[in-house]
Structure 1
Amino acid sequence: MGSWYHPWAAALRIARRDALRAKGRSALVLAMIALPIVGVSAADLTFRSSELSADQRLTRQIGAADARLSPSGLDGPVLQHPDGEHFAPVGGYEKYRPGKEKAQPLKSALPAGAKAAEDTTGHIKVRTTHGLLQSDLRELDVHDPLTRGLFTLDRGRLPRGPGEVIATQAFLDASGLHVGSAVSMRGATAPYRIVGAYELPSKLKNTELLALPGTLFAPLEAALRAEGGSGLPGPTTTSYLVSVGGGEGFTWNMTKEANAKGALVLSRAVALRPPADSEVPLFKEQRKEQYEPVSGGGEVTRKAVLATVVGLAMLEVCLLAGPAFAVGARRSRRQLGLVGANGGNRRHVRSVVLSGGLVIGAVAAVSGTALGVALTLGLRPVLEEQLGARFGGFVVRPLELLGIALLAVLTGLLAAVAPAVTASRQTVLASLTGRRGIRRANRVLPVLGLLAVLGGAAIAVYGTGYRVSPNVVAGGSALAELGIVALTPVLVGVFGRLGGLLPLAPRLALRDAVRNRGRTAPAVAAVLAAVAGTVAVSTYQHSQDVQARHEYTADLPAGSGYLLADSDLGRKEVPALREALAKDLPLGVRADVDRLVAGNPNCARGSTDPGCGRVTLITPKEARCPLWEAENGPASFPPDQARTLRQDPRCAMPEHHAQLDPVVADEKLLAVLAVTDPGSAAALKDGRAVSFDGRNVKDGKVTLRIVTDEAAAGQGAGQGAGQGAGQPAGKRAEPPGQDKVLSVHQAPASAEGWGFTLVVPPAAAKAAGLSTAPAGSYFSLDGKAPTERRQRLEGDIDRLGADAHFKIEEGYQGRSSLGVLALSVFAGLVTIGAAGIATGLAQADSEADLKTLAAVGAAPRVRRTLSGFQCGVVALMGVVLGSAAGILPAVGLRLTQEREQERLVRHGIEMGYATLRDTELYVPIAVPWETLAGLLVLVPLGAALLAALVTKSGGALARRAAG
């Protein structure tokens, strides 16, 4: 035991004393190793704490009840998945016909003798200090034990009777109200008092008001009806929290009995102990795979990102800490020489340097893990707010944290391997005298580096296949980066050929760097590794942003909007709405629009009451989608033929959906829509309609059908131009009515209609005998519309008592992921740390050159300039090489994402819901040139300034050398 124990014990003591003696260098290396450990341990704790157990998740959904019964929305019995989310009507949707059976009351599905608590939800606009806010409303007996776990009361008290509500903190923040404030719903005759604040543990950002059963919706509906309205503006949904007693809970047999009455069930017993597939009737009628989540769903890409980032982070730390240990080894050359002079061999010298890595790694493991725990605890509220959900608890997995800590120790040891080998190879005389000796270039290493670059790139590209582990992408990227590191000495020599083009000081610095490649290459590799991580993260993030911008579907051109009355009943307020719009917003162009009406003008839009009607655009039979003309819809065709027909241009889904279509308007609407076709504007001025969908045009004309009795038309909706928007399962009959034929100008394919298929000028509508009613206005802004002006408009709409829909299209808003942002910040900090290490290494190894300059009388400014350029050159070479190295992992990750999206599209085509537009994948690889330019300028400049500032102007050593 003593043959290995005592030398290592002595080496550890020497390493500990050396670390304490050089506190600055030790702290720098410690920070480099501990920084990723802090991040990884904090991420592990956050993930495990945010991961809810099955019982915790059920408690947040059904409280302390055995089950929750919810309406399925179908008229007859259903078959459901054990998870309570997926379901289908008995016989499948192909045979389901709405209205064929009468839906049973949800309460009839409750088991006999069960205790139940009613939970009703709805939506309405609520008056706030700023104006109007769309909010959720809820009625629930919060005093019932079954509701325990659904919400958490933060402060105040629970409501005790009518006129009292509690509000989520998100509602209070958005509304500007507080506990004790009075709040009123739009249309209510009396305000409610907010007596408490609560939160929904899994929905922290929900704006919601909660009252006792019977105290909110019934009085509000009565007040709205008393004012002549039709009741609540939106539907309410009622579900039941159920307790059946006994030890088995709400069993699978009970669930199937409730399904037979049209109810869906989320049962605690079934979710925790799901039945066998053979006992699930849904799986007997349809494939289970149809109701399983599509495997992957972005998970493959997320795993690839995580594996790549973690792998590169560990590689960065090794490359960054390695030069720092090299600095320490060179500063301790005399001490290591004394070890050899006193009988120590190469193994003992290596053990001293390796012990330094072990000591620093162990301290980094303990401090990094402790900081990770403290950081997670301190940032837990912030993390929960960002995630929008409370943690299930603070979960610590000791084995996982131990593994992370051991990773720090291993990183410290690996980082010290190269300096240890280098130090052990020096002779005792060279160590004691400070001579560097003759260093021969290694001709094998560049060849191995080139092979590693090519092999790593090939492995990374191969790893982008979906069925290949995402770790392959990370491994290939790391191997290629190691290859570039191995090529660094050769590449430094290539940079040296540019020295003749530079001024004196940078030329001397570059030649010094090339002459001392043994010192320059590790420093360049350190900066290379850090910059590669920064470039990889930023390139991946920028590429995702470009893709999201491309995939974003705007409703209107950016800076345009609309203000439309919500129903025909609100047309009397439209002139006042238009005036408020012009008063409150900076308008560029305002296009007033009308809607076509038929039958009783007092009917609400979409009403099927007797005497109510509509005007629908008829698509010629030859231009209609065959899928929707068949008796049973897509089910009438073999799967292969149905997939082919979905790619037919006649079956193309509309990219946009207009609020009104057809619409009555003049040429101002084209200006708002940014349609520059002069023929379209001229047609509207001449009284001709303009079509944006050629499928509706035949021989230069379109047909509008006036359906004057919607009840007689039944389910026979006319074949409109907007096919693909909510198509039925079977063929639709032609609606009866009177046809009006209009001359039309077909807009060119390059003109974006923004969901409008037909624009009819007022003169053409009047000439055809079509009735119109004012609907509102579309507009373009002349400048910006800040939130204060928007709230003022909402307030004016409220004072008018009108139901109106208002929106401004702001265009794509760049989205930033909190995780990617954190990775970018981390990579940037490591890059700065790399520059700092490179500075220290250059100064430590070029100290003799600086003494020589002082001895020959060089001014302090010259020494500072040369030192700054030395470090700046190293940093610049590292940034250039790191930028090239960082592109590879980003390309690998994007290719992984592209393969995954291709698989999802194939799955959609096989299932029959993918269309021609879905097959047009766009997964770009976009380089963030601004970021690269910033790195190329800021990192070398910062490193040069840092080196110049810390370089001593003179000093005892310099004067002693000169003397």
Structure 2
Amino acid sequence: MLIALPVAGLATAATLATSQIPTPEQYLDSQLGKTQTRLTIVSGPDPSLRQAPVDPSWWSVDVDSETVDPTHAVEDPLDDVVPLLPAGTPTLRIDAATVFMKTTAGVASVSALVGPAGDPAFVGRYDVVQGHAPSNEHEVLVTQSALDDIGAVIGGDLQLRNPDRTFTITGIVDIVDQLDSTRTVVLPDAEPGELLGQAAWYLPDDALTWEQIQQLNTQGVTALSRTVALNPPITGTEMDAAQLVNPWSILSGVLIGGSIVAAFVAYQIALLAGAAFSVSARRQQRALAMTASVGATKKDLRRIMVLQGLVLGGLGAALGIVLGLAGSWAAMRLLDDGNRTVYWSYAPLPWLLAAIAALAVVVGTASALLPARSAAKVDVLAMLRGARRPQRAKRSRPIWSIVLIIAGVAITAVSVAGILWVRASADGGDPIRSDDIRAISPQIGIFAGPILAQIGVIVGGHWLLTQLSRPISRVGLAPRLAVRDAAANGTRSAAALGSIGAAVMLGTFIVGALSLTVGTQAHGYTPPAPLGSLFVEVYGTGEEPPSDARVQRAEGIVQAQSPASVAILRSPVSAYEVPEGDRADAEVALAVPGKPVRCTGDENGSIDDACGHLLDLTQGLYVTTADSLPALLGRSPSGQEIRTFRDGGALVFDNELLSPDGKSRIGFWNAEQAFENGGPAAWNEGDNVQMGEGAVLELTPPEHIETLPAVLVKTPDQYRYTTLISEETAADLGIETSQVSFVAAFDEPADEQMVEAINGASGIDAGISAQAVTGPPSPVLGILLVLGATGILMLGTSAIVLGLARIDGAADDATLAAVGATPGLRRGISFWQGLIIALLGSLTGAAAGLLPIWGLIAASPYMYAEDIPWWAIAAIAVGLPLLVAAANALTSRRRPVVTRRTAIA
């Protein structure tokens, strides 16, 4: 089972991966259904337009090498492809749209297909799974999720809003590449404003030839033809590289990732199976000695043990493959989310499964090699007496251990320095390419170093246990006997340390890397308001701000949701909102950072994130009221905050906006100048003042600056508003406002049902938009999954190793019982056996797992140590060993197995 279970896991993962590879026919059916060709308009007519034969999304036109402008005159795209086809050619047109649908909660925006998607020609792409296809313009199909949200049944009504339209639901459609949770309706027609996607024309009977497709290309039309895709021509261009189905896009990842996982699994099996064979060899020592006494050579004894590994490896591989096939079949059904283009079919790959089985046989055989070598070095008389000696740690082991640990840490440190050097080279004018060995080596070293350090711990594991036996022996009788048993059986104990350490190292690294990744996303995410609130924007029409009536109506709709508090935000008028004739005499206001904004662009016009953050801060000036502060801050304002705000000061949410003397500065720019620059910042210097390498983006000097007293506000996140002033202060400064937003705080987080309720109440007014404020994805679920997987791996590993210890120490247990040891003492020994091995292995593994995490933090300017969930690391390093120890104590044998005790020689 030790071999079969990992093989089952690898076989399951491999089969799930290969089942994601479609056949060419399966892929074409998902795109075309039963039709033969799909046509789309991608451009205006251009005689140079050409497409890849198997991938119509890959197309190009001739351009000027210097200006990159199209060589031929740009023309407007065609409206229809039917005139380009032979007269009488049957076509089916499908458009994409977005519509507002009445739900049980209110009104929701959902996707729509417009056209005859229920036609039998689309079977395989759009399948009618219940009911029947529409037969007139008053009938529709819906997905199961949409039907559930409507709260209707087949034969019921679907009501759309803006414009108000009612349809009869005739059936349920299943869309091949869509999740079951996606809400979609199939309409007979749509309003022009609803169409948002590219129209597609399907030919049910005609598979176009390559020559016909080339003619259509010149009219700005691309095509996916079943005949051409299955037998693509050679065009003599780079587009021949396109493939209809590229199995190696998945298989390469499977082989690379699978090789890493297989190496880890092989390492675990070799350690634990090697320990098991060592125990087995000791239990067979009398039989092996008898075999040797009647003439068996050392080679014969080695062969006996090796063949045991070969047989058990083969049986474990066979059983694992069977379990893996069954597990992958069950997993595909459990993971089914309705998208049939994820798992196309159940498709295990025989040669890949054979490779996994061969690996298991090799590892099982190799695990028996060292025990076989030891078993062959027999003292026949001593083995016939059943005598055995405690294993002693070699004097060279601690030296090698220290050397390997120091080397691992040093490699990690040097790799971090190498990554920093590679990054610095990008700013030094001689950038190092990502495929350069100088860039690749540090990335490998940052992971190789910790692995080397972990190997060092394994090498010195037995010696470390012997050193710990003295201080632990003073704790009590149970820990003394437990640690001496571990030190006396170094082969078994060192294997346990290595196996548990490897599992914990992997778990620690995954938890840390996951948290750092999510933390990086969180640092770059700016929610419009506190998480869990409802953010409602009210827009005006054209250059006019929203009317008072619309603002009051929006506020009433928000208040109807019974919020705990409501805030109003008014944004200053931007240069784009000032009428063209008034821009010369008007001013626009923004917050001014406390230090100069000067961003250097690269060759693509991109700027440094930190500098871009300063520019974003300038846009965060908003006007509000004192009563709005609780909802905007996510808490009640402090006395200083409310006094500063009411006395004409500003609440500042980022210290970058504070001047050196702690003040807030509001800058006023001429509206015409800001409009021409695209904002208060402008590119200058450099060869290309619009953008490009050497160009500098900086704030143009404002007409004048007003300084206000300020207080720095601390909030969990950076919100859309970075500076808040009162309406009275805005009036004194002459700041006019335009767009209005509301922030509603609730006792429970706002959800999509509230958004749908507001949409329903507003009648889908184009000037009112609501959203529930949610943050970036939390890593907690992923961390818990990693904890669970690490816990299972550690419990399984510990169960094997401690089970071996229990079998190996059965005679010792009987002796203890014979001399009066109580069940409590024997259970205490089991507890300490589990704790010593599991805790030492997990602590060293956690330390090794934190090394690459430290490397990532040191090498990346966007990762921070505070994002690491230390509670999870503590749970892995300390909590799981305690769980292992408790489980070992609870499952310890209560009644000893009385056997003949042979004294250790």
Residue of structure 2 in register with 1:555 after alignment: 528
**Pick aligned residue for 1:426 from 358, 367, 378:** 378
Residue of structure 1 in register with 2:174 after alignment: 199
The Cα of 1:404 is off from its aligned counterpart by 0.8
With 843-852 and 795-804 compared, the bigger mean Cα shift is at: 795-804
**Pick aligned residue for 1:142 from 100, 109, 117:** 117
CA distance in 2, matches of 1:690, 1:952: 66
Residue of structure 2 in register with 1:862 after alignment: 825
CA distance in 2, matches of 1:575, 1:769: 24
SS at 1:396 equivalent: coil
Determine whether 1:845 maps to 2:815: no
Residue of structure 1 in register with 2:245 after alignment: none
**Pick aligned residue for 1:70 from 30, 33, 40:** 40
With 831-840 and 105-114 compared, the bigger mean Cα shift is at: 105-114
Residue of structure 1 in register with 2:12 after alignment: 42
Cα gap change, 1:166 to 1:610, in 2 (>3 Å): farther
**Pick aligned residue for 1:165 from 117, 124, 140:** 140
Cα gap change, 1:111 to 1:526, in 2 (>3 Å): same
C-alpha RMSD over aligned residues: 5.4
CA distance in 2, matches of 1:164, 1:657: 51
Contact 1:688 1:745 (C-alpha < 8 Å) held by counterparts: no
With 881-890 and 472-481 compared, the bigger mean Cα shift is at: 472-481
**Pick aligned residue for 1:85 from 35, 57, 75:** 57
Structure 1 segment 297-696 matched on structure 2, within 5 A:
307-385=259-337, 389-437=341-389, 439-450=391-402, 453=405, 468=440, 480-499=453-472, 502-568=475-541, 571=547, 572-593=549-570, 617=588, 643=603, 646-647=606-607, 652=612, 665-666=624-625, 673-674=632-633, 686=648
CA distance in 1, matches of 2:473, 2:775: 51
Contact 1:117 1:240 (C-alpha < 8 Å) held by counterparts: yes
The amino acid that maps onto 2:172 is A
With 869-878 and 365-374 compared, the bigger mean Cα shift is at: 869-878
Tell me the alpha carbon deviations over residues 327-379 of structure 1, each in whole angstroms, 9 at most, x when there is no partner. 33333333333322333232333233223322222222112111111111122
Contact 2:177 2:341 (C-alpha < 8 Å) held by counterparts: yes
CA distance in 2, matches of 1:246, 1:649: 50
**Pick aligned residue for 2:202 from 241, 256, 261:** 241
Residue of structure 1 in register with 2:769 after alignment: 805
- Structure 2 gaps of 5+ residues are 243-247, 420-433, 692-701
Contact 2:570 2:623 (C-alpha < 8 Å) held by counterparts: yes
Determine whether 1:51 maps to 2:21: yes
Tell me the alpha carbon deviations over residues 627-679 of structure 1, each in whole angstroms, 9 at most, x when there is no partner. 9xxxxxxxxxxxx9863975489984777699x98865445667655499989
SS at 1:384 equivalent: coil
The Cα of 1:50 is off from its aligned counterpart by 0.9
The amino acid that maps onto 2:769 is H
**Pick aligned residue for 2:881 from 919, 924, 940:** 940
The Cα of 1:746 is off from its aligned counterpart by 7.1
Determine whether 1:874 maps to 2:837: yes
The amino acid that maps onto 2:507 is T
- State TM-score, norm by structure 1: 0.73
The amino acid that maps onto 2:289 is G
The Cα of 1:47 is off from its aligned counterpart by 1.0
Tell me the alpha carbon deviations over residues 151-179 of structure 1, each in whole angstroms, 9 at most, x when there is no partner. 23333322222222222234345555554
Tell me the alpha carbon deviations over residues 80-113 of structure 1, each in whole angstroms, 9 at most, x when there is no partner. 663443567764786589x985444243784444
- State TM-score, norm by structure 2: 0.77
Cα gap change, 1:237 to 1:788, in 2 (>3 Å): closer
The Cα of 1:185 is off from its aligned counterpart by 1.2
The amino acid that maps onto 1:485 is I
CA distance in 2, matches of 1:528, 1:44: 26
CA distance in 2, matches of 1:650, 1:529: 38
The Cα of 1:503 is off from its aligned counterpart by 3.2
Tell me the alpha carbon deviations over residues 815-868 of structure 1, each in whole angstroms, 9 at most, x when there is no partner. 5798x9776644432210121122222223333433332333333322332333
The amino acid that maps onto 1:863 is R
Contact 2:105 2:757 (C-alpha < 8 Å) held by counterparts: no
Cα gap change, 1:929 to 1:502, in 2 (>3 Å): farther
Contact 2:106 2:756 (C-alpha < 8 Å) held by counterparts: yes
Residue of structure 2 in register with 1:720 after alignment: 679
Cα gap change, 1:717 to 1:381, in 2 (>3 Å): farther
Residue of structure 1 in register with 2:92 after alignment: 117
CA distance in 2, matches of 1:483, 1:665: 62
Cα gap change, 1:397 to 1:387, in 2 (>3 Å): same
SS at 1:807 equivalent: strand
Contact 1:346 1:424 (C-alpha < 8 Å) held by counterparts: yes
Tell me the alpha carbon deviations over residues 724-778 of structure 1, each in whole angstroms, 9 at most, x when there is no partner. 9xxxx9979xxxxxxx9887447989779845589786568778999867x5443
CA distance in 2, matches of 1:521, 1:45: 34
The Cα of 1:403 is off from its aligned counterpart by 0.8
Cα gap change, 1:75 to 1:662, in 2 (>3 Å): farther
The Cα of 1:794 is off from its aligned counterpart by 2.7
Tell me the alpha carbon deviations over residues 397-416 of structure 1, each in whole angstroms, 9 at most, x when there is no partner. 11111111111212221222
Residue of structure 1 in register with 2:131 after alignment: 156
Cα gap change, 1:232 to 1:370, in 2 (>3 Å): same
Q: Identical aligned pairs, as a percentage?
A: 23
- Structure 1 gaps of 5+ residues are 1-29, 222-230, 290-295, 599-604, 628-639, 708-712, 733-739, 903-919
Cα gap change, 1:375 to 1:959, in 2 (>3 Å): closer
CA distance in 2, matches of 1:624, 1:298: 49
The Cα of 1:385 is off from its aligned counterpart by 1.8
Contact 1:597 1:771 (C-alpha < 8 Å) held by counterparts: no
With 751-760 and 178-187 compared, the bigger mean Cα shift is at: 751-760
Residue of structure 1 in register with 2:697 after alignment: none
Structure 1 segment 738-753 matched on structure 2, within 5 A:
744-745=706-707
CA distance in 2, matches of 1:961, 1:593: 88
Cα gap change, 1:744 to 1:200, in 2 (>3 Å): farther
The Cα of 1:193 is off from its aligned counterpart by 2.6
Tell me the alpha carbon deviations over residues 304-332 of structure 1, each in whole angstroms, 9 at most, x when there is no partner. 76554432222112212222222333333
Residue of structure 1 in register with 2:217 after alignment: 256
The Cα of 1:874 is off from its aligned counterpart by 2.3
The Cα of 1:944 is off from its aligned counterpart by 3.2
Determine whether 1:834 maps to 2:786: no
Contact 2:503 2:790 (C-alpha < 8 Å) held by counterparts: yes
With 146-155 and 952-961 compared, the bigger mean Cα shift is at: 952-961
CA distance in 2, matches of 1:519, 1:651: 57
The amino acid that maps onto 1:359 is V
Cα gap change, 1:886 to 1:689, in 2 (>3 Å): closer
SS at 1:643 equivalent: coil
Residue of structure 2 in register with 1:23 after alignment: none
Contact 2:762 2:768 (C-alpha < 8 Å) held by counterparts: no
Cα gap change, 1:848 to 1:279, in 2 (>3 Å): closer
Contact 2:565 2:630 (C-alpha < 8 Å) held by counterparts: no
Cα gap change, 1:102 to 1:412, in 2 (>3 Å): closer
